[in-house]
Amino acid sequence: MRKNLNVIAAYSIMMGLIILVGIFQSWNIALSIFNLCLISAVMTMGANIQWGYAGLINFGIMGYTALGGLAAVLISVNPVQEAWSAGGLNILFSLLLIVGMVLAVRYVLKKYEKSKKRTYIIATIIILGIIIIRFVSEPGIEAIEEVDPAKTGFLGGFGLPIIFSWIVGALFAGGLAFVIGKVALGLRADYLAIATLLISEIVIAIIKHEDWLTRGVKNVIGLKRPAPYEVNLQQTDWFINLVEKFNSGKLSLISDFTERQATLNQFVIEGSSIFVKLCYTGLFLVVVIILLILTQKALYSPWGRMMRAIRDNEEAANAMGKNVVKQHLLIFVLGSAIVGIAGAMLVTQDGLFTPGSYRPMRYTFLIWVMVIVGGSGNNFGAILGGFVVWFLWIESAPIGLYLVNLTTSGLDDTHFLKVHLIESVPYFRFLMMGIGLLLIMRYRPKGILPERIEIK
Amino acid sequence: MDLLNAIILLLNYIFVPALTYGSQLALGAIFVTLIYGILRFANFATGDMMSFGTMFTILFTWYFQSIGISLGVLPTALLAIPFAVILMIGYMLLIDKFVFKYYRINKSPPVQLAMVSIGVMFVTQAVVRIIIGPSDRRFFDGEKFLIRAGEFKDMTGLNEGLAIKSTQVITIFVTVILVSTLFWFLNKTKTGKSMRAYSDNEDLALLSGIDPKKIVMVTWIIAGILATIGGALYGLDKSFKPFTYFNNMLPIFAAAIVGGIGNPFGAFLGGYVIAFSEILLTYAYKKFFMYVLPESMEPDSLVQLLSTDYKFAVSFSILVIVLLYRPSGIFKGKVL
């Protein structure tokens, strides 16, 4: 118990802060912060597995998040029949060509010894393949994108409940990580960081510009929800009764009937959006708890010990007969898959998929700040990092505004410096993140909750 | 005649823009490579340091414009750059003193330094946005074109015009001067030689009495010069927007690695490799073939290998291929 005291203290402070936001701002804001904190926590767990357990740098988190989001679209949107009949066969044929290309490359790789000739053959196959695929797929893609471009213009998905996409998102991200891992994991640490960062940019470029698959920058809106809709809730009897019971104290103070009804309506509208958010909170909490149990079990299993051995001394682990390459690949895939889940969860909560919003600052570097600040190698630390950093990221604007008002209180309201500073309040979050990261790296390099290995 | 038209077409749309863009990337890539070679970490704050330097240039330009100083046909920014460079060097040395020095003395692993540079990236980005705002800014003044497309057509009687912007000429001119001075410094002067020695083998260099403090300081000074000038040239040619500068970090990294990280000459060439391949692969060659081929063989489609949306993806793919087949870069050998 004593040993866990700082964990409990840190989490209580965090929850206290969120409750304070609920009291002073609104419960709606508090809950949306809390939900995004949970999603961030899933992302940091993924990054923490790679960095904390195995010491692999993955700056491609943005790419896996986007793939998870793409999975949410492909699973939940209803298929667009016209688009399928217009260009579906063509796309399927192109996919077949891609598979054929990959198989051909694999065959060449297996059949021939490593030589210059083999390299040239592979290059020829890939270049020819790309040219052929471009020619074959172009009419199909154009046909698909012409089907009602204002509303669809893409193939759509499978029309399944969106919850399934959380698993599919993990599979997508894991699949991509497998390919990247096969290619890039042999690189030195900082090269790996740069390579993954650039590959994630390529993934985003593809998602942004292949309109037939993702609608690109036209965005996909109105995705199905796993939770009820506010509008429906506001007309359901049991919900109105629930809200009435909940607020009976306040309502009984109002004697006038119409006024009372109006206030009740107000409460119902407010309550419905809180209720929906609570539904999401429940779903996300389940995911976080399952992942936490699994990752904790893994950390203290023989496999976790092996990963730490590989992290701390690769050569020694190798000499003990551990297959370092294979384990690195495994952990790269696992971590990325978890990030993929988070990506799908994020799109599920927002109900829309906006490829243009995936930017490395928000989806790669911020997640890294979370891992480092929270404590790499410690799952509770990583989750806490997700909470703390996301909370500050959202609340830094009000805090910044308060500080600006405080420091410039002597100045006139129209003074150019004050106006300028108030306008730039949104950028104080970058400043806070940067200074926070630098301070933590300097004075507490292992994070708020450092890695602590107990031998049981 | 048609052939001449075709050549002018390629010059106008591929060669000149690529040469300009390549020069801007090359300056950034040398900056990355110097930091990597001597301070031994991947500097993720590259793009934002460049935007920081450019911000100073813009502020000085505005100041000079407000008091009525200008260079006539040349942009006022050229006058502002030296002042911006001085402030930028101060900023670099300050960051080094308060942030990077601690990790260097403790011999932290390069990964940790890279993480620290991410912190610097956040702070620099915030400061730039707080001071000058996130919006698009143009600070070019003076004569815009050296040769206009129309004038060129009248002069030569060709169908295709060749437009050369003065910023393009300035960029290439400044890059050539700066880079040749830098190579002269690295190869001929005592400090430059000791920098190369330090990059090659730190312990041996220290044994032979090279002062590491001086090396590090000179490196940051050169880095400040390169970052400010590279950023200002890019901003003059296109426009200044903090987010674009952050994104430019990626092709700059690609250029540095393609050229063999730690190798300034490689980084210099790498910039052009990236710029030319980006533009060559995404240019639509239809018009070119219309000039070159007989009428019966003219292509119907745009003859574009990749759509321009994939401009960035091209350079990254090149990088990935290089990393796989020649991790030490095309121009082998880690010699600073």
Q: What is the pLDDT of residues A161-209, one digit of tens each?
A: 999 999 999 999 999 999 999 888 888 888 888 889 988 998 999 999 8
Contacts of B327 in chain A (CB under 8 A): 187-188, 191
Per-residue pLDDT of chain B (336 residues; tens, 9 = 90+): 778 888 888 888 899 999 999 999 999 999 999 999 899 899 999 999 999 999 999 999 999 999 988 888 888 899 999 999 999 999 999 999 999 999 999 998 888 899 999 999 999 999 999 999 888 988 888 888 888 888 888 888 788 888 889 999 999 999 999 999 999 999 999 999 999 899 888 889 899 999 999 999 999 999 999 999 999 999 999 899 999 999 899 899 999 988 888 888 999 999 999 999 999 888 888 888 888 877 777 776 777 777 777 887 888 888 878 877 777 777 765 544
Residue A426 and residue A397: Cα distance in Å, rounded? Answer: 5
Interface test with A, best of B44, B130, B305 (most A CBs within 10 A): B130
| Structure tokens belonging to residue A358 | 């995936």
Contacts of B326 in chain A (CB under 8 A): none
pLDDT of residue B335: 45
Answer yes or no: is B107 within a domain.
Answer: yes
Contacts of A400 in chain B (CB under 8 A): none
Determine contact: A207 vs chain B, CB below 8 A: no
How close is the nearest chain A Cα to the Cα of B193, in Å? 26
Interface test with A, best of B35, B59, B115 (most A CBs within 10 A): B115
A445 contacts B257? CB cut-off 8 A: no
Contacts of B115 in chain A (CB under 8 A): 368, 372, 437, 441
Task: Please check the confidence at residue A3 and state whether its pLDDT lies above 80.
Answer: no
Q: What's the CA angle centered on A71, arms A67 and A76, to 5 degrees?
A: 155
Determine contact: A248 vs chain B, CB below 8 A: no
pLDDT of residue A338: 96
| Structure tokens belonging to residue A216 | 């690109």
A424 contacts B133? CB cut-off 8 A: yes
Tell me the helices (H) and strands (E) count for chain A, helix number first.
21, 0
Task: Please check the confidence at residue A344 and state whether its pLDDT lies above 50.
Answer: yes
The residue type found at B168 is Q
A193 contacts B122? CB cut-off 8 A: no
Question: Interface pTM (ipTM) of the complex?
Answer: 0.89
Interface test with A, best of B106, B116, B118, B258 (most A CBs within 10 A): B118
Q: What is the pLDDT of residues A70-113, one digit of tens each?
A: 999 999 998 888 888 888 888 889 899 999 998 998 898 888 88
Answer yes or no: is B141 within a domain.
Answer: yes
How close is the nearest chain A Cα to the Cα of B10, in Å? 22
Which alpha helices (DSSP H) does B2-137 contain, by range? 2-10, 16-34, 46-66, 77-95, 101-105, 110-132
pLDDT of residue B63: 93
Residue B202 and residue A362: Cα distance in Å, rounded? Answer: 37
B313 contacts A201? CB cut-off 8 A: yes
Domain boundaries, chain A: 5-79+156-443, 80-155
Residue A12 and residue B279: Cα distance in Å, rounded? Answer: 55
B119 contacts A434? CB cut-off 8 A: yes
Q: Quickly list DSSP for B120-133.
A: HHHHHHHHHHHHH-
Answer yes or no: is B178 within a domain.
Answer: yes
Q: Which CATH number fits domain A5-79+156-443: 2.60.40, 3.40.1180, 1.10.3720, 1.10.3470?
A: 1.10.3470
Quickly state the pLDDT bin for A64 (edges 50, 70, 90). very high
Burial zone of A59 (CB within 10 Å; 0-12 exposed, 13-18 middle, 19+ buried): buried
Quickly state the pLDDT bin for A122 (edges 50, 70, 90). confident
pLDDT of residue A143: 85
Report the C-alpha dihedral over residues A255, A260, A264, A265, rounded to 10 degrees.
180
A369 contacts B313? CB cut-off 8 A: no
Task: Please check the confidence at residue A211 and state whether its pLDDT lies above 80.
Answer: yes
How many CB atoms are located within 10 Å of the residue A9 CB? 10
Looking at residue B38, which CATH number applies to its domain? 1.10.3470
pLDDT of residue B333: 52
Determine contact: B120 vs chain A, CB below 8 A: yes
Answer yes or no: is B333 within a domain.
Answer: no
Answer yes or no: is B334 within a domain.
Answer: no
Mean pLDDT of A366-382: 91
pLDDT of residue A454: 64
A187 contacts B111? CB cut-off 8 A: no
Report yes or no: B167 and B75 within 8 Å, Cβ to Cβ.
yes
B134 contacts A427? CB cut-off 8 A: yes
Instruction: Name the residue of chain A whose CA is nearest to B40's CA.
Output: A190
Out of B115, B120, B250, whose CB is closest to A201?
B250
Instruction: Name the residue of chain B whose CA is nearest to A419's CA.
Output: B130
The residue type found at B60 is F
Residue B279: give the domain boundaries. 2-325
Determine contact: B239 vs chain A, CB below 8 A: no
Task: Please check the confidence at residue A340 and state whether its pLDDT lies above 90.
Answer: yes
A434 contacts B121? CB cut-off 8 A: yes
B42 contacts A190? CB cut-off 8 A: yes
Q: What is the DSSP letter of B71?
A: B
A147, A127, A149: which is closest to A217 by C-alpha?
A149
Determine contact: B317 vs chain A, CB below 8 A: yes
What mean pLDDT is reported for chain A?
Answer: 89
Q: What is the pLDDT of residues A305-332, one digit of tens each?
A: 899 999 989 899 999 999 999 999 999 9
A434 contacts B126? CB cut-off 8 A: yes
Out of B111, B121, B123, whose CB is closest to A190?
B111
Out of B122, B130, B309, whose CB is closest to A205?
B309
B130 contacts A434? CB cut-off 8 A: no
Determine contact: A365 vs chain B, CB below 8 A: yes
Out of A199, A431, A441, whose CB is closest to B320?
A199
pLDDT of residue B269: 92
Report the domain count for chain B. 1
pLDDT of residue A455: 58
Task: Please check the confidence at residue A250 and state whether its pLDDT lies above 90.
Answer: no
Residue A252 and residue A231: Cα distance in Å, rounded? Answer: 26
Determine contact: A421 vs chain B, CB below 8 A: yes
Answer yes or no: is B232 within a domain.
Answer: yes
Mention every residue, 6+ apart, whose C-beta is less than 8 A from residue A442: B102
Q: What is the pLDDT of residues A280-290, one digit of tens each?
A: 999 999 999 99
Determine contact: B127 vs chain A, CB below 8 A: yes
Task: Please check the confidence at residue A65 and state whether its pLDDT lies above 60.
Answer: yes
Residue B20 CA: distances (Å) to CA of A451, B13, B15: 49, 12, 9
